[in-house]
Structure 1
Amino acid sequence: MTRPAPAREVLLDAAERLFAEHGIADVSDRRVAEAAGQKNHSAVRYHFGDREGLLRALIERHLASLRDERVRLLEASESLLGDVRSLVLPVTSALAALPAPSWRARFMARAHYQAGIAELTQIGLGLGRLEREAGRSILARLHHLTPAIAHGRLTIMTGMVIMTCADVERATACDGTDPHWAGVGMFLADAITGMLQAPSSLASDYPETAPETAPGPATRGVVPAPG
């Protein structure tokens, strides 16, 4: 006999689906509890403390699913493509491991671009260190670009991964097809590597130093600013 999932996991699954479908700001804690089949409408507060605690738990659950493969790929990397794969492939592998239909990529896209929430993606589990290490390795290989252009392309990389995965998840959920996440990951890694290697046509229009301002939400998630 299969044991029912713990209430905490059921709440996380319900919140992830509702946030992905309707937006984080438009879903109340009570609605999450009801969707999880909890009679106690204060279940979110009981298990997570508050809304931020719930979001933190959702993001940490996702980041935890990336850790082992990210470490393995980063340690084995000997090229720009290897560095990029260490950041991209753990994401698509984690999505492939989820039961269908999934809402993880769409939730992460909403969290990543919503002000005040993106910062939570760097909390817990020490994954920021791994991502910064990969980011530094990538930047060290981009000798043909000024620092500003190189950092800008890392920003583009982040958006490519987050939005492509969200779009694939949405499209395949609608038509019931297999998302083929392994192929999506390889496609993204190849495309991003090509983008990073491309020469700059406007190098003279960019400053020779990286921007001093802190990166906004669009730069966080896959590759935080190396530090």
Structure 2
Amino acid sequence: MDATTAPPASRGSSTRNELKRAARRLFAERGIAAVGMREVVEVAGQRNAAAVHYHFGSKDDLLRELLIDGADLIDAERRALFDELELRGEPTLSQVVRAMVLPNVAFHGPTGEHETYFRFIVNVQNERRALFRDTVPEHSDGFRRFVAHVHRLLAPVPAATINQRILFASLALQTLVAAREASIDRTESGDHHFWSRPDALSGMLDAVEAILLGSGASAR
């Protein structure tokens, strides 16, 4: 076996998970280009300097796996929420926004995805936009359903205008969730004096819905 090739059974190993947790935190806190693979190995407490290459291959392969891990967790919850809503009929805009937002603030994962994932993806988008664009859409069925519902609910607003609002709302949500994540991550208890309050979540929902509606618009 090539030294840079991960064995099939290693995906869920404790070493692999520690490397992923360490890498995602370093990427989240310092950016993508500033972090070397040797540093990931050291922070993860591993002795083998080639551990990242052994378990993941290249740095880009590691970035893709970290992106997919979080995207799949969030998408699974979104799809479940949309499944439930659609069984009851055509959801309202408020319900659609809630199904979009809640998985971003309520997900957890086996390698601490909730601790650093959104700051990590912000840095990937800023530094490695093409890699992000080529990786995440295949794992975003829940987001595509969100987009379809928003177009249905905001018709007859022009499609280009709706797409612009979706982009702005998505960027605003990502910024809010990353700020929330960073603040909660700095606490020892995981309970933040502002971001853990129910009205903070309500405010996020209202902000996303307001951007989608635009000035003077209404939704069915």
Q: Taking structure 2 as the reference length, what is the TM-score of the superposition? A: 0.77
Query: What are the residue-to-residue correspondences of 1:111-122 with 2, within 5 Å?
Result: 111-114=124-127, 115-122=129-136
**What is the aligned-residue RMSD (CA, Å)?**
2.8
Tell me the equivalent position of 2:28.
Answer: 20
Q: How far apart are the structure 1 equivalents of 2:106 and 2:179?
A: 16
Q: How far apart are the structure 2 equivalents of 1:96 and 1:122?
A: 17
Q: Taking structure 1 as the reference length, what is the TM-score of the superposition? A: 0.75
Q: How far apart are the structure 2 equivalents of 1:105 and 1:170?
A: 9
Task: Rate the CA distance shift 1:111–1:64 in 2: closer, same or farther, 3 A.
Answer: same
Q: Does 1:191 align with 2:176?
A: no
- Helix, strand or coil: the match of 1:103? helix
Q: Does 1:145 align with 2:161?
A: no
Q: Does 1:49 align with 2:75?
A: no
Deviation for aligned residue 1:28:
0.5
Contact 2:41 2:49 in 1 (8 A): yes
How many residues align? The count is 195
Query: What are the residue-to-residue correspondences of 1:40-119 with 2, within 5 Å?
Result: 40-77=48-85, 78-94=91-107, 102-114=115-127, 115-119=129-133
Q: Which amino acid aligns with 1:148?
A: A
Contact 1:69 1:90 in 2 (8 A): yes
Deviation for aligned residue 1:120:
4.5
Deviation for aligned residue 1:57:
1.2
Task: Rate the CA distance shift 1:198–1:132 in 2: closer, same or farther, 3 A.
Answer: same
Q: How far apart are the structure 2 equivalents of 1:40 and 1:198?
A: 54
2:146 to 128, 134, 149: 134
Moved more, 95-104 or 74-83: 95-104
Q: How far apart are the structure 1 equivalents of 2:22 and 2:111?
A: 14
- Helix, strand or coil: the match of 2:130? coil
Moved more, 40-49 or 136-145: 136-145
Task: Rate the CA distance shift 1:182–1:119 in 2: closer, same or farther, 3 A.
Answer: farther
Q: Which has the higher helix share?
A: 2
Q: Which amino acid aligns with 2:24?
A: E
Q: How far apart are the structure 2 equivalents of 1:199 and 1:192?
A: 13
Q: What are the ranges of 5 or more consecutive residues in structure 1 without an aligned counterpart?
A: 202-227
Task: Rate the CA distance shift 1:101–1:60 in 2: closer, same or farther, 3 A.
Answer: closer
Tell me the equivalent position of 1:34.
Answer: 42
Contact 2:21 2:112 in 1 (8 A): no
Deviation for aligned residue 1:67:
3.2
- Helix, strand or coil: the match of 2:215? coil
Moved more, 43-52 or 73-82: 73-82
Contact 1:88 1:189 in 2 (8 A): yes
- Helix, strand or coil: the match of 1:44? helix
Q: What are the ranges of 5 or more consecutive residues in structure 2 without an aligned counterpart?
A: 1-12, 86-90
Task: Rate the CA distance shift 1:86–1:167 in 2: closer, same or farther, 3 A.
Answer: same
**1:130-188 CA-partner distances (Å, limit 9, x unpaired):** 32122111111112522221111111111111111111222344465524286544322
- Helix, strand or coil: the match of 2:107? helix
Q: Percent identity?
A: 26
Q: How far apart are the structure 2 equivalents of 1:101 and 1:143?
A: 35
Q: How far apart are the structure 2 equivalents of 1:135 and 1:58?
A: 24
